[in-house]
Amino acid sequence: MFTSAFVGASAVAPLGMQNRQECDVLVVGGGPAGSTIAALLAQKGRHVVVLERDGFPRFHIGESLLPLNLPLFERLGVLEQVKCIGVHKPGAEVVSDGHSHTAIFRFDQNPYLSVDHSYHVRRSDFDKLLLDNSRTLGATVLEETRVIDVELRAEGRSRVTACGRDKMASLWFPRFVVDASGRDTLLLKRLGLKKVDKRNNTAAVFGHFRNVSSTNGSAQGMITMHLFKHGWFWTIPLPDDVTSVGLVGTRSFFRTRTDDLDRFFARAVAASPGLAQRMANAEPVSPLTATANYSYSSPRFSGDGYILIGDAAAFIDPLFSSGVMMAMSSATLAADVVHAWLDDRKAGERQMRAYERKLRRGLHSLSWLIYRINNTVLRDIFMASFDLFDTRNGLLAILAGDFYEAPGLMPPLRRLQLAYGFLYPLSKLGVRLPVTPKLRPAQL
């Protein structure tokens, strides 16, 4: 039995016998997910080939990383290099003009967190660093090589057709296929598994700017989330005094756009006083980019001889800067699955089921929060002058990267859900949590 995932190859030269090659694992895509799994499996002695459509370095969005990324960098041996290309990130600042208030969440003050900082990175540099590292650790990486067809075979080797920069087709016969193609979702689309989540259907506009005034004092180096009625802005400090600024808004907000993207963005910034002040002298260093952010997932993330990791498996709103962590952590979990499967199929299948459960648990926790982020009750809990039911620290530790929290008696997310359930009907009666002007920094 096989399933074909044909992507469409125009003007690709026919296959020559010399182009037929075998490997243990073929990874489609060399972003953070693909390069992580390639590095880990190569370290275990597997013959891994990564086929990456683009030539690196190349622009990618997703620049703010989480603290629990750091142990993964250490495992890959790149922690010092990431430190060199990154901007130190001590936490997150949330500015709510609606609450006339700023809340600061510091990683180093959170009792649940063992890592007290993270980094912001230019993805072009970061992704190249990770991909080069996977080469150093033994993976074969072919850039400017696009996968155009995958035939998954339940028995024997799958067949993957790719097209290189010379427009020549090459044919690969791996024992296992890893889909790390990001939001292109090569296999999800072709297997008809992609389920769009209509409850989280936002869009984003973003660009790089100079002369964005930085936040001062204890918020220096932090990502700032400026909340506004229909969404939120991020500001992320990057190297060389460049700041990444992006707007994430609901579809209905984007439908109010009547003029070009620059004017739409400028109007939205002007309506957000805290950000407008910081961007008073801002100069763009790149054109603005717009993208749909719709979330999606799949009823399954693995099958006979294949596994989906990172954005190729599921995507959720970038609100909590969770994408790269999700990509690298799912790749790390999947590396163990694939390694086991190659030795003993039954054992591998057991691990696949555990992988599915874990991934789904992480996605579910983050989605619960994201669905409610424009809701006053959840925003009040984050901005309140006290930590209701002591949920905030635990919850923010999850948002620092520990998405796969094991179900316990009363884990932080469950406590938050109870607090939310308690406050929601009260909010309908006009009862709100107090937000004092001088908020004790919540301790992320």
Binding site for ligand FAD (CB under 6 A): 7, 28-34, 51-54, 60-65, 146-147, 180-184, 186, 204, 206, 246, 291, 293, 310-312, 318, 321-325, 327
Measured from the CB atom, the residue of 113 and 423 that comes closer to ligand FAD is 113
CB atoms within 10 A of CB 98: 12
Contact between 249 and 243 (Cβ < 8 Å): no
101 contacts 435 by C-beta, under 8 angstroms? yes
Q: Shortest gap between Cβ of 429 and ligand FAD (angstroms)? A: 37
**Paired residues of 168 in beta bridges:** 13
Residue 405 near residue 395 (C-beta atoms within 8 A) = no
Nearer to ligand FAD by C-beta: 246 or 412?
246
CB nearer ligand FAD, residue 62 or residue 412 = 62
The number of beta carbons lying within 10 Å of the beta carbon of residue 156 is: 10
When the beta carbons of 113 and 312 are compared against ligand FAD, the nearer one is 312
Q: Which is nearer to ligand FAD, 133 or 391 (CB)?
A: 133
The answer to whether 273 and 280 are in contact (CB under 8 A) is no
Angle, helix 32-43 to helix 323-343, in steps of 10 degrees: 30
Q: How far is the CB of 7 from ligand FAD (least distance, A)?
A: 6
Instruction: Name the nearest CA neighbour of 246 among 64, 57, 58.
Output: 64
The DSSP string of 369-434 is HHHTTTSHHHHHHHHSSS-GGG-HHHHHHHHTT-TT----SS-HHHHHHHHHHHHHHHHHTT----
**Minimum distance of ligand FAD from residue 438's CB (angstroms):** 29
Q: Which is nearer to ligand FAD, 243 or 322 (CB)?
A: 322
Q: Hey, what amino acid is at 257?
A: R
Nearer to ligand FAD by Cβ, of 24 and 311: the residue is: 311
Q: Do 385 and 435 form a contact (C-beta atoms < 8 A)? A: yes
- Pick 150 or 377: Cβ nearer ligand FAD: 150
Q: How far apart are CA 217 and CA 305, in angstroms?
A: 52
Least CB distance to ligand FAD at residue 428 (A): 33
**Which stretches within 149-197 are classed as H helix?**
186-190
CB of 343 to ligand FAD, least distance (A): 26
CB 243 to ligand FAD: min, Å: 13
CA distance 339 to 374: 42
End-to-end Cα spacing for the chain: 50
* Cα-based angle 209, 62, 196 (whole degrees, multiple of 5): 125
Kindly tell me which of 170 and 293 has the beta carbon lying closer to ligand FAD.
293
Residue 48 CB, nearest approach to ligand FAD (Å): 14
Q: Facing residues of 368 across strands?
A: none
Q: Answer for the pair 105, 441: CB distance below 8 angstroms, yes or no.
A: yes
Tell me which DSSP letter residue 100 carries. Answer: T
Least distance between ligand FAD and beta carbon 36 (Å): 8
For ligand FAD, the closer CB: 35 or 43: 35
- Cβ closer to ligand FAD: 249 or 435? 249
CB of 117 to ligand FAD, least distance (A): 15
Shortest distance (Å) from residue 206 CB to ligand FAD: 6
The least CB distance from residue 278 to ligand FAD, in Å, is 18
Separation CA 276–CA 187 (nearest Å): 42
Burial class (CB in 10 A: 0-12, 13-18, 19+), 351: buried
- Where do we find the tokens 């294949």? 306
